[in-house]
Amino acid sequence: MMAIRVRGFRKRFGGSLGKKPHQAAHDIGFEVRTGQVYGFLGPNGAGKTTTIKALLGLIRADGGTLEILGDPPQARGWRHRVGYLPEHPAFYPYLSGAETVVMFGRLAGMTDRDARRAADRLLDRVGLGHAKTRKLSKYSKGMLQRVGLAQALVADPELLILDEPLTGLDPVGRRELRDLFRELGDEGRTVFYSTHILSDAESTCREVCIVSEGRVRYTGSVEGFDAGRDRRYSLVLDHGRRALPDGLVGAACFSQAEPGHGHRMRLDFDDRARAEAALRAALDAGLEVIRYDPVQESLEDFFMRMVARTQQEEAA
């Protein structure tokens, strides 16, 4: 069963009162299976929040179809089954963390007793047990994000939709919430969250949708996305003024002297067989091998390269 289905979603803003129109979404489409932790990725301004708002019925789509738990966004049946954290949540600063979560529980139809029990349990789970009675005006940005996640969970939803939930967290907090997302997936919940930091999704998701400038650039498994990344092999030598073996530098796709390291030379190869042949030649010649590493292109670099290539193809 699909928890979320988006097909051909289009949305345009502006175009009236002298405002220049902006196409925020061009035929965006993806599917999220029930029980999956799914990443919706892309840089700021890519169309992620626009798609989420349309999915939740907060804005109207100009075209395409959207379904949430089998219903269109305008239906009411799915609403008590979904927890939502917006990108910029607004809370009453004079309430405590516990009072905030209890309030959202009551709005979801829970009894006061059940809402208080759920608030205590969830605030502990998101790492705010020590600050549950503190006013939100004293919370940091990361603490407010944690409260937002607790309120999204208070009514025990089967689907969580989280817009940039890791924003404002320190590295420890990011890791803790990523671990929580995996735990929620193991419990059978569906977690759909957006982020502009690709490594977050790499550590939590099996499938992702990547968007940029309102267009889908990739949908599928993280493994499939990972397979397209460049892999190079870096060999660092200290030649001690001796001549390098014939062809060693020419076989590399990149070479340079390492500044500040005497007679060191770095050679990069885009082929493993060539790299290993160069390593053997260097050892046979008696050169000192400082380092030999496989180097994988970062997710961010690969994403930017993929987007640039797609833009070039569209412009051709």
pLDDT digits (tens, 9 = 90+) for 9-56: 999 998 666 678 889 999 999 999 999 999 999 888 889 999 999 999
Q: What are phi and psi of 85, to 5 degrees?
A: -125, 110
The letter for the amino acid at 148 is: G
Q: Do 282 and 245 contact (CB within 8 A), yes or no?
A: yes
* pTM recorded for the entire structure: 0.79
Q: How far apart are the first and last CA of the chain?
A: 39
In terms of Cβ atoms closer than 10 Å to its own Cβ (0-12, 13-18, 19+), residue 16 is exposed
Q: How many CB atoms lie within 10 A of CB 8?
A: 14
- Give 242's DSSP letter: P
Q: Given this model, what pLDDT does residue 259 score?
A: 62
Give the pair of three-digit tokens for residue 72.
């269109």
Q: Given this model, what pLDDT does residue 250 score?
A: 78
Looking at the chain, the whole-number percentage of residues with pLDDT higher than 90 is 54
Give the pLDDT confidence of 205-244 residue by residue, as tens digits.
989 999 988 999 889 988 777 666 777 888 888 877 677 7
DSSP E strands, the chain: 2-13, 22-33, 37-41, 63-68, 82-85, 159-163, 190-195, 207-212, 215-221, 231-238, 254-257, 264-269, 288-296
Q: Given this model, what pLDDT does residue 288 score?
A: 87
Q: Could you tell me how many helices (H) and strands (E) the chain has, helices first?
A: 9, 13
Give the pair of three-digit tokens for residue 156.
């025990």
Q: Given this model, what pLDDT does residue 102 score?
A: 98
Residues of the chain predicted below pLDDT 50? none
Q: How far apart are CA 137 and CA 139, in angstroms?
A: 6
